[in-house]
Homo-oligomer: A and B are copies of this chain.
Amino acid sequence: MSFRDEALEANASYASAFVATERAAPPSRRVAVLACMDARLQPEGALGLALGEAHVIRNAGGRVTDDAVRSLVLSSAVLGTREAAVVHHTDCGLLGATNEGLRAHVAEATGTETDEIDEIDFLPFDDAERALLDDVRAITRDPRLAFDTVSGFLYDVRTGRLREVAPG
């Protein structure tokens, strides 16, 4: 069975147990989370967020990219979130990687001309704590974002435990 079939089957049972209520778009706890896409991290579970409570933005690394800023601006200025949290994690594939190494890997895996891959900055980093602090700072300093507090957490994929690196 393909993932598509399995997802529709799983969703039928999810929807049958779903409590249908009118939920407004603005997150009820006024929180926006920026987290890594890693499969071993589920931000809602790890941070205790229920349905309707927070925006969750995720990309490779949980980095502050132009697209993350686009999403955070909509979250804060349009939908009224007031606190932000950045969640990176242990054993991240971007830690210790380089653009050159990743580009070579991608070119080999896809057989694609490297020109198209050279455009991509994969945003690797060498120091997990520094990358997290950089991302917290990027949100704090962006004049288009007006969060009251921005916290930074490092999630341990082996234990499920958060460690606060940048106090909000």
Contact = CB atoms under 8 A, between A and B. Distances in A.
Interface of A: 2-4, 6-15, 18, 20-23, 25-32, 37-40, 42, 44-48, 51-60, 65-71, 73-79, 83, 85, 91, 93-94, 102, 105-106, 109-110, 112-113, 116-117, 120-123, 143-146, 149, 151, 153, 157-162, 164, 167-168
Contacts of A15: 159-162
A10 B59 contact: no
Contact of A20 (B83, B85, B158): B158
A122 B74 contact: yes
Nearest to A156: B15
Residue among A7, A55, A67 with max Cβ neighbours from chain B (10 Å)? A7
Contact of A65 (B4, B9, B67, B85): B67
